[in-house]
Amino acid sequence: MENKKTYNHLNEYLKNKFGERTLKICVDGNFTCPNRDKTCGTGGCIFCGEKGSGEHLQNISIPEQIHNFFSSYRSERANKFIIYFQNFTNTYGYSINQLKEKYDSSLIDKRIVGLQIATRPDCITEEIVKLLHSYKNNVNVCVELGLQTSNDETAKLINRGYLSEEFTKAVLLLNKYDIDVIAHIMIGLPNETKDDLLNTIDFINKHNLHGIKIHSTYIISGTKLHKLYNQGQYLPISFEYYMDCLEYVITHINPELIIHRITGDPPKDLLVAPNWTTHKKRVLNGIEKILKEKNLYQGIYY
């Protein structure tokens, strides 16, 4: 048991899959969300800033973003890259032809070996999935679905804008076309208890997924969550509570899942609380230490 790895690290998976270290290039595709443009709501999710999760991205064309990355990339750390359409809903608001133009415009360098699309389950259609499948002959394709929680009451509170059954439908459709699916969950959402997290993990384990991304909930300046915090209606979780929850998630999820993240990267200039979320290595080293000391590993209680 001593040599058992604690969990399936993304970096190790990518290195094994592509033969060497592979990094992501985050791009802004100029998308929005249906819970921002009045389709199913306004203002976006209550934890989401004005730029979604892409506060650091540039407001220029997709090819320019990628050219800028490569022109400034001087490291020998990697020679293979994955294009990651990160912020907002990257299958929404455009025709199929327009989506194809966006995705095509990102695959402009022979070093690009993957295409990762972050989106919502209610913005997945068979036509979109067929388009994504068409890239599989040339690059690895995966879709990241923002679930956050399986609790539909919490979903209403955070303004997610869809029921959890939509997640199941989207996963089945992506499974049909053999596209890898990553589920994104958040720990510490308003009014959520440990039982809610347990139910979310049970829900995830019922689906055929390739990976999981785990974030703590943090407060960005100017968001609706920031307002709740100022009004005393939301209290951020502690580092210790997050570690406890991480331990549960890792030991109870499918042992085959690839863990893409176990911590977020809040923009330091916009972060309100909790401060510990800026200390990424503390989270990474902390959970590694806990798992090794307790002789635990991914899926031991699956």
State percent of the chain over pLDDT 70: 96
Q: At CA 261, angle to CA 192 and CA 87, rounded to 5?
A: 85
Higher local confidence (pLDDT), 151 or 40: 151
Q: What pLDDT sits at residue 76?
A: 74
Residue 267 buriedness (CB in 10 A; 0-12 / 13-18 / 19+): middle
217-234 average pLDDT score: 96
Quick one: three-class SS letters along 68-132?
Answer: HHHHHCCCCCCCEEEEEECCCCCCCCCCHHHHHHHHHHHCCCCCEEEEEEEECHHHCCHHHHHHH
Q: What are phi and psi of 261, to 5 degrees?
A: -155, 150
Residue 127 included in any domain? yes
Which of 242, 249, 157, 164 shows the shortest CA–CA distance to 201? 249
Answer whether residue 238 is part of any domain: yes
Q: Which domain holds residue 289?
A: 10-293
d(CA 142, CA 174): 9
Q: Kindly state whether residue 65 falls inside one of the protein's structural domains.
A: yes
Between 213 and 52, the more confident residue is 213
Q: Is residue 247 part of a domain?
A: yes
* Inside any domain, residue 300: no
Determine contact, residues 187/237, Cβ cutoff 8 Å: yes
Cβ pair 245, 290 in contact under 8 A = no
Which DSSP string do the residues of 286-299 spell out, in sequence order? HHHHHHHHTT--TT
**Do β-strands 258-261 and 211-216 pair in parallel, antiparallel, or remain unpaired?**
parallel
Asked if pLDDT for residue 55 goes beyond 80, the answer is no
Using DSSP's 3-state secondary structure scheme, residue 211 falls into strand
2 found inside a domain: no
Q: Could you tell me what percentage of the chain is helix, strand and coil, using 3-state DSSP and rounding each to the nearest 5?
A: 35, 20, 45
Helix (H) or strand (E) holding 147: strand 140-148
- Least confident range from 45-49, 94-98, 224-228, 287-291: namely 45-49
> What's residue 57's pLDDT?
54
Any domain includes 284: yes
The pLDDT-based confidence of 82 (bands split at 50, 70, 90) is very high
Lookup result for tokens 């920031």: 226
pLDDT at 194 over 50: yes
Task: Inform me whether the pLDDT recorded for 77 exceeds 80.
Answer: no
CB-hemisphere CA count at 13 Å for 79? 4
Query: What is the sign, positive or negative, of the torsion defined by CA atoms of 218, 87, 129, 15?
Result: negative
* CATH number for the domain that contains residue 102: 3.30.750.200
The answer to whether the beta carbons of residues 143 and 181 sit under 8 Å apart is yes
Let me know if residue 3 belongs to a domain: no
Q: Across the chain, what does the average pLDDT equal?
A: 94
Give the residue from 251, 127, 100, 249 showing the smallest Cα distance to 188. Answer: 249
Counting the structural domains of the chain, the total is 1
